Structure 1
Amino acid sequence: MAALSPAQAQETRDTSTSSESAGGEIIVTARKRSERLLDVPVAVSAVSSEDLARYASNSLSAISQQVPALVIGESTNQVGGSINLRGVGSGISNPSTETAVTMNFDGVPISYGNAVRLGQIDIQRVEVLKGPQALFYGKNSPGGVISLVSADPGSFFEARLRTGYEFQAEQRFAEAMVSGPLTDTVGARIVGYYSKEDGWFRNIAQPITGVTAGAGAKTLNAEDVFVRGTLTFEPTPATRIKFKINYGQRDRDGVGPTGLAQIVECPNGGVSVFGATDCKLNRTFYDAALTPGTIASDPSFKDGVPFVKSSQFLTSLSVDQDLSDSYGLSSVTGYYRLREQSIDSFSFSNIPYYGASNDVIAKGFSQELRLTSDLDGPLNFMIGGFFQDATFTIGQAFTVDFGTPFLVGSTFYDVHTTAYSGFAQVRYKPVEQIEIAAGGRLSREDKKLTGTSFSLPFEVLDPKKHYNDFSPDITITYKPDSNLTAYAAYREGFTSGGFNTVPTALRTSANTSRPALDLSYDQMTAKGFEVGLKGYLAERQMLFDLVGYTYKYNDLQLSRYDNASFSQLTQNAGGARVQGVEFNLTMQPHAIPGLQVRTSLAYNDAHYTNFIGGCYNGQSISDGCNLALRDPSQPASATNYYTAQDQSGQQLVRAPEWTFSAGFNYDTEFSENLGGGLSFDMNHSSSYLTQTEASPATRQKSYWQFNGTLSLNGGKDKPWELALVGRNLTNRLIRVTGAVVGSTAGQYGTAAPRQGDILASVGAPRSVLLQLTVRSSLFGR
């Protein structure tokens, strides 16, 4: 994603806010200092503001199409989203599970999948750091970091108005931005965004007298609001203060979280027992209003009409202080709050057999301090500390209604997390061309679980957990000249364990006959090696990036469906190996000004090395469900079935073995006041599993997707631009997550159980967008 230019960018502490240097090269802050992408000894995919605007990428799901090996999608439950990078992720099961791939917004780490839904508007650049990251992004991350850096006010006044219409979802949106200096030392930037859409997918639930009123809304509609304000203050050249405040809201009326999912296969005669008639992957879904009995079973179900209401608030304060020419102190203070409420039938059919309500609140304060040296000698260092205090609460009710409503659970959970870590790195240059960097992060996290079941305090095993880790990071970098960088690194990563917040009844003082459950799962760790080679070729007309890696993961955190609790749970796999090679090439021929051609190819072998996992619903003994007999003292039978399978050697979830992309941009000027652009990209992914239990029917087959943009603009600086943007032009529907619907399948672990229906959450179909952008330069400065 880097632009090519002969200009050089010098390394500085992280004071730059632009994504490109004056010469056109992408500048990143992957090591908390501004460096050319070429110089960074890390596997980084950088997406500039120009790349984001080209395809109107204002969501993480859209951004993922520009980054190989990154699979992102919204989930069908209160978790909000799933993120997998090189096949590593924390699943979609438990809303209190911290993601293995951490999102970082303007220096503030956010570890909850719901942040996928926070609008990515007016972003200066996106940096995707692959593999374990322990040193530079607040919280330790075993899978990688997605760092989003929003735009800052510049040294002159600018304004932008952008509006558009997406034809397939009938989306109407408008975005406005105003930025500039208020005084010689104070700058401000404000951006606002509003969008309303009918949605790509159609709700075909029908009313049934005495059972359900049918669809609460005819389509998977959405209304989005996003606002960000930025203030910068530089009282002296040595002091730089930046304050950002973000608010995002997304509402779906009449449709709950399962509007993104549908039953796509029905092996029992092609018809689901739940009433889905087509059993195909298409643009229809079922989401019916709850039954009267379900509504009456718990006040949280309100009027029984499905909905999702989500709001997020994020604020950050960063202070950079040059203590002298050689030392700098940096502080990043953050506060994040999420509130998400939803009601849904979770039946994926015309008949709402189930009903679930969720009320999630996540909030956290974080503080990072960093002291960095910039000495003239061969030795430099960085040292710092991080603190986080966070709470996660969820109130939920779950009812089953097969004629007689039964309130299975009404629970409230409070998970309190306190995290501390210290980190340091020393960089030594024995000669000018070689740098040896060694450091690590020492982490401790304490978690405590409390709550109620049916309004009574519940009792669980080990409600207090403590997690400790030390993750070293050692890198050797060799730069024979300014056009080539080679590096080798050993890295480790960590994410803490936690608690499953199941919606079913738990032991209380009033029902001591029920066993006290252990709801905890263990921490995950990663360690391994990475080597890379980056450089320019052909008189700097070509930029390449070659990376090889191998990492071992212990206690990988995964999702599994648990019949006893009617929910997805987080579990630990014994071990996994992720290894592969990635190659990126960008060409910008001197003979054709304005043309950029890019391609990437990635091979990723991600598999379990040691994993005894649960069986998928409908899995027979001959299909591998042949371990852990329910009662080992008795012979196998229809009532004494096997419960586990050996998944060692199996592919990780959402981990395609091969990904390939190729594309080009061509920008030209027809005259002084008229220009145009043409872009085209194609992306290929090999097949991958979408379910931890690995039912073959949940596999997403290999696929291609194609994107293109055609634009006209007002020439230099593009004071106005009219663009026609097309994504997924062939309308290929992709399964992001998958599952076997448990209640449609026979008991697993028997000789020939009935096969269950296959459920999948679906990625975006074809999108065709007409977009107009007007900048203040149209009217002069």
Structure 2
Amino acid sequence: MFLGFRKRRTPGGTFALRVAAPLGIGLGAMIVGTMPARSADETANQDVENVVVTATKRNESLQKVPLAVSVVDGEQAAQENLNNLNDISSIVPSLNFRNGASNKDQGLFIRGMGTVTTSPGAEPSVSTVIDGVALDRPGQATLDLLDVERIEVLRGPQGTLFGKNASAGVVNIVTQQPTEEAHGYGDVSYFGGGDEFRAKAGVSGALVPGKAKGLLSVLSSDYGGNVTNVYNGDKVNGYDHNGARTKIELTPSDTFRVLFAADYLHSRETIPSGVISSTNITYPGGVTTANPAFANLISPVQASAGNTNINTNTNTHADDDNGGVSAQLDWSIGNHTLTSISAYRKWKNGQLQDFDRTSSSLNKQIVDHGELDFDQISQELRLASPTGQFLEYVTGLYYLHTVDDEVYSRTDTATSGTVNNGTARYGTRGDNYSAFGEATFNFTDDFRGIAGARVIRDELSYYHGRVSTAADTGISASSPYATGNTSDLGYADRVGLQYDLTRKATTYVTYSHGYKGPAYNVFFNMVPSTQGAALKAETSNSYEIGLKTKTLEDRLLFNAALFHTTFDNYQANFPNLVNGAVVTNLINAGQVSSRGFEADFTAKPCKQLTFTGNLAATDARIDHTLVTPKNWPINGEPLPFTPKWKTNLRADYRIPVNEDYAITLGTNYRWQSKVQYDLSESPDTIQKAYGIWDADISLNNLASSWRITLLAKNVLDKTYSSYLQSSGATSTSGTAGYVYRWVPRDAERYFGINLRKDF
């Protein structure tokens, strides 16, 4: 890790100095620096400085924003082989990730709240925003992060400024901007544990000095994987990614700026549909049902908590094309700024999955194939007042139009050779209209009030039809073509007070109301006649008290927050059996709540040594629901994907060698308590508590702007699962099931090297 400075050109044309401290996450920030060409002695400051964020749609000091925000430096994260939001969630205590065999099946959770569904008729509770453009589907944002400047994680409802699908929080991704001065870089990495190779390069500079500048970045990466398919000897659980991003910024005058951006990423993921971790199912009453027949079917694979082998005859994989274009226009009108962001995004996803997870002819073979085609068009228009006056505000209008078309097929081949199949064609159309605004009232220099609201109009429709040869395992009977539509008028709001105790310490208290619109559970086995009713809108009420402070002559930064959030009509997936196969249904699960405490610190006892740490204590529980399948009571039980305790600690020691060279020694330890992965509260889908220790050493040549880093990941070789799922069982005395796991990248120890050169 390095403490450093980055010169950044602001939209108005002046240069600002961004100061970043080493890794530190929590309420205040995870702040890490970059490596400009400065001497080793010059970069060794003893102050812990702030970063600028856009969490309030303005450039504002992180320490002054009355929100719980974490900030991850994109370049530093990539250096540590943290390349997507799944990786980032491992080091941000309040952010958690739901894995899956395709990014279509993945999702984010903040403070225990998130939406798990593959239905195109439902939005996530955690909104992902890239350069001001909100992504409607969670799968659009779970691939490689290319040329990212920073990632801001905003916790709690953020609907007033970021939209309706932010009832639990926002992940705001800000990518690098074009520079006036010519700049380029090359970055290559190699990591063991599956032969992972990553290469990035970029150039930026003036096209017409003072009037136009551009940026182009490219990415290519390949990873063989850390799971072996004994059926054919292939390595799986890997990927192949290739992408590019370009931006052109025009400044025809001092009062007008245009930024055109385009990005594209093609990906193939070979994530298996599940690695068998147990052939037993344990029931809440303590009864364990064994499944020795299935254990024989997957032989020679031995089911265990650390198993990294599969035995399947279908090469499960997903192909993904994800990209878009946008145009941001900024006008200075007197002391006000008018901003327009127009965007179009395209997402295509195809997946092939081995549903039965075996290769034996003695077992029914079930293969799934899905194709997704998704488009979204959005337009945001907002007006920002000048700062430094009694009333400061941001207000605007927003429109989003989405079109989703999908085809999903399942083929069942019995041991007798009989083949049954079903094919469903379905999709959704959505429109969102909203008006929003948030204001700050500066009653005094030290005392402020905050008030904001968003009024939202949702319109959503679906179509669905399925043709099946016969009802079979995981296949419902044919369903005629059907349609449905719904609409809703909702709102989000936020009010609060902020008081500066001193020049470097501020406190705040806020109340927020969040809203996520109505939904349809549109999926392969949908039966519109019984499942075609729209789900009610999900709403939340959140209270938060926070403290942000720096002390000991700016050598210690300490931030903390207490929060309590209640969700009504919580939209969640619940497992159900269809002809003996587990499927999930999106339902209004009832009322849930989350309460807890978050804290972080960054300390520099001397110029060379930096300590950072953060903690999230989250009690997220199901308060009330009528859903009790198989007589499994879930009231009072924890929400999935949310450990009660999660922490991250880091130390960095910087050793100046001479005027040009410096060595940095870094070590990081993250730990979390046990976590439940299934809303049905199965005892088999609990990941026990675990801790991961990483270490790195870097040699930095500041004069020539190059760096070499050696990394050791999961030094103690601790095995864990990033997701566990039960195949289910019909009863305690009936058909037995099994449990399968998702194997994370760092499920075992591996080493790597990163080389970077700036020019």
Tell whether the structures are fold-level matches, with TM greater than 0.5.
yes
Q: How many residues align?
A: 703
Q: Please tell me whether the aligned partners of residues 279 and 294 of structure 2 are also in contact (alpha carbons under 8 angstroms).
A: no
Cα offset for 1:349?
2.4
Distance in 2 between residues matched to 1:756 and 1:762, nearest whole Å: 20
**Equivalence for 1:338:** 347
Distance in 2 between residues matched to 1:357 and 1:273, nearest whole Å: 24
Per-residue Cα deviation, 1:31-76 (whole angstroms, up to 9, x for no partner): 0111111000000011124542441322112211221121124312
Of 322, 329, 338, 2:332 maps to: 322
**What are the within-5 Å matches in structure 2 for residues 395-434 of structure 1?**
395-403=407-415, 404-434=417-447
Of 216, 219, 227, 1:190 maps to: 216
Q: Please tell me whether the aligned partners of residues 270 and 279 of structure 1 are also in contact (alpha carbons under 8 angstroms).
A: no
Is 1:161 paired with 2:148?
A: no
Of 558, 569, 575, 2:585 maps to: 569
Unaligned 5+ segments in structure 1 are 207-213, 291-304, 508-514, 616-624, 627-644, 777-781
Of 235, 250, 263, 2:267 maps to: 250
Q: Please tell me whether the aligned partners of residues 408 and 505 of structure 1 are also in contact (alpha carbons under 8 angstroms).
A: no
Q: SS at the partner of 2:554? A: coil
Cα offset for 1:334?
1.7
Task: Considering Cα pairs closer than 8 Å and 6+ residues apart, tell me whether 1 or 2 has the greater RCO.
Answer: 2
Of 509, 524, 527, 2:538 maps to: 524
Cα offset for 1:372?
1.3
Per-residue Cα deviation, 1:495-530 (whole angstroms, up to 9, x for no partner): 1232223223757xxxxxxx5542643321111210
**Equivalence for 2:393:** 381
Q: SS at the partner of 2:740? A: strand
Is 1:443 paired with 2:468?
A: no
Cα offset for 1:613?
2.3
Which letter maps to 1:219?
Answer: V
Q: SS at the partner of 1:62? A: helix
Distance in 2 between residues matched to 1:465 and 1:609, nearest whole Å: 28
**What are the within-5 Å matches in structure 2 for residues 261-272 of structure 1?**
261-267=275-281, 268-269=289-290, 271=292
Which letter maps to 1:684?
Answer: W
Distance in 1 between residues matched to 2:668 and 2:18, nearest whole Å: 22
Q: Please tell me whether the aligned partners of residues 19 and 49 of structure 1 are also in contact (alpha carbons under 8 angstroms).
A: no
**Equivalence for 2:41:** none
Cα offset for 1:288?
2.7
Which letter maps to 1:605?
Answer: D
**Equivalence for 1:641:** none
Q: Please tell me whether the aligned partners of residues 681 and 708 of structure 1 are also in contact (alpha carbons under 8 angstroms).
A: yes
**Equivalence for 1:560:** 574
**Equivalence for 1:231:** 248
Q: Please tell me whether the aligned partners of residues 138 and 368 of structure 1 are also in contact (alpha carbons under 8 angstroms).
A: no
Cα offset for 1:245?
0.8
Which letter maps to 1:373?
Answer: S
Distance in 2 between residues matched to 1:271 and 1:722, nearest whole Å: 51
Of 352, 360, 369, 1:357 maps to: 369
Distance in 1 between residues matched to 2:560 and 2:313, nearest whole Å: 52
Cα offset for 1:118?
2.7
Q: 1:727 to 1:17 in 2, by over 3 A?
A: farther
Of 271, 275, 279, 2:303 maps to: 279
Q: SS at the partner of 1:651? A: coil
Distance in 2 between residues matched to 1:279 and 1:350, nearest whole Å: 15
* TM-score (ref. length: structure 1): 0.85
Per-residue Cα deviation, 1:177-208 (whole angstroms, up to 9, x for no partner): 1111122211111110101221111112x2xx
Q: Please tell me whether the aligned partners of residues 542 and 585 of structure 1 are also in contact (alpha carbons under 8 angstroms).
A: yes
Unaligned 5+ segments in structure 2 are 21-32, 34-46, 282-288, 469-477
Is 1:768 paired with 2:751?
A: yes
Distance in 2 between residues matched to 1:133 and 1:395, nearest whole Å: 34
Q: SS at the partner of 2:160? A: coil
Per-residue Cα deviation, 1:626-653 (whole angstroms, up to 9, x for no partner): 3xxxxxxxxxxxxxxxxxx431111000
Distance in 2 between residues matched to 1:147 and 1:125, nearest whole Å: 8
Distance in 2 between residues matched to 1:4 and 1:669, nearest whole Å: 14
Distance in 1 between residues matched to 2:651 and 2:662, nearest whole Å: 17
Superposed CA RMSD in Å reads 2.8
Q: 1:700 to 1:602 in 2, by over 3 A?
A: same
Which letter maps to 2:402?
Answer: A
Which letter maps to 1:91?
Answer: V
Is 1:465 paired with 2:478?
A: no
Of 580, 586, 599, 1:583 maps to: 599
**Equivalence for 2:711:** 725
**Equivalence for 1:703:** 690
**Equivalence for 2:313:** 289
Cα offset for 1:236?
1.8
Q: 1:536 to 1:231 in 2, by over 3 A?
A: same
Is 1:64 paired with 2:89?
A: yes
Q: Please tell me whether the aligned partners of residues 429 and 435 of structure 1 are also in contact (alpha carbons under 8 angstroms).
A: yes
Distance in 1 between residues matched to 2:717 and 2:589, nearest whole Å: 36
Which letter maps to 2:454?
Answer: R
* TM-score (ref. length: structure 2): 0.87
Distance in 2 between residues matched to 1:19 and 1:450, nearest whole Å: 50
Which letter maps to 1:734?
Answer: Y
Distance in 2 between residues matched to 1:264 and 1:562, nearest whole Å: 20
Q: Please tell me whether the aligned partners of residues 97 and 641 of structure 2 are also in contact (alpha carbons under 8 angstroms).
A: no
Q: SS at the partner of 1:135? A: helix
**Equivalence for 2:26:** none
Which letter maps to 2:514?
Answer: G
Q: Please tell me whether the aligned partners of residues 12 and 35 of structure 1 are also in contact (alpha carbons under 8 angstroms).
A: no
Cα offset for 1:378?
0.9
Distance in 2 between residues matched to 1:65 and 1:232, nearest whole Å: 34
Cα offset for 1:164?
1.8
Of 646, 663, 666, 2:653 maps to: 666
Is 1:758 paired with 2:745?
A: no
Distance in 2 between residues matched to 1:125 and 1:18, nearest whole Å: 15
**What are the within-5 Å matches in structure 2 for residues 452-531 of structure 1?**
452-454=465-467, 458-460=480-482, 463-504=484-525, 506=527, 515=529, 517-518=531-532, 520-531=534-545
**What are the within-5 Å matches in structure 2 for residues 68-217 of structure 1?**
68-77=93-102, 79-94=104-119, 96-183=121-208, 184-204=210-230, 206=231, 217=234
Which letter maps to 1:147?
Answer: N
Higher mean C-alpha deviation, range 115-124 or range 12-21: 12-21
Q: SS at the partner of 2:722? A: strand
Residue identity over aligned pairs, in percent, reads 21
Which letter maps to 1:46?
Answer: V
Of 73, 76, 79, 1:48 maps to: 73
Distance in 2 between residues matched to 1:727 and 1:261, nearest whole Å: 22
Cα offset for 1:139?
4.0
Which letter maps to 1:609?
Answer: D
Is 1:536 paired with 2:546?
A: no
Per-residue Cα deviation, 1:457-513 (whole angstroms, up to 9, x for no partner): 8345x7101132111101211113320110000001111232223223757xxxxxx
Distance in 1 between residues matched to 2:13 and 2:493, nearest whole Å: 22
Q: Please tell me whether the aligned partners of residues 711 and 723 of structure 1 are also in contact (alpha carbons under 8 angstroms).
A: yes
Per-residue Cα deviation, 1:377-430 (whole angstroms, up to 9, x for no partner): 312222111100001111011122222444352111120010111101222112
Q: 1:127 to 1:181 in 2, by over 3 A?
A: same
Distance in 2 between residues matched to 1:262 and 1:14, nearest whole Å: 56
Distance in 2 between residues matched to 1:661 and 1:701, nearest whole Å: 17
Q: Please tell me whether the aligned partners of residues 546 and 584 of structure 1 are also in contact (alpha carbons under 8 angstroms).
A: yes
**Equivalence for 2:474:** none
Cα offset for 1:308?
1.6
Q: Please tell me whether the aligned partners of residues 275 and 307 of structure 2 are also in contact (alpha carbons under 8 angstroms).
A: no
Cα offset for 1:732?
2.8
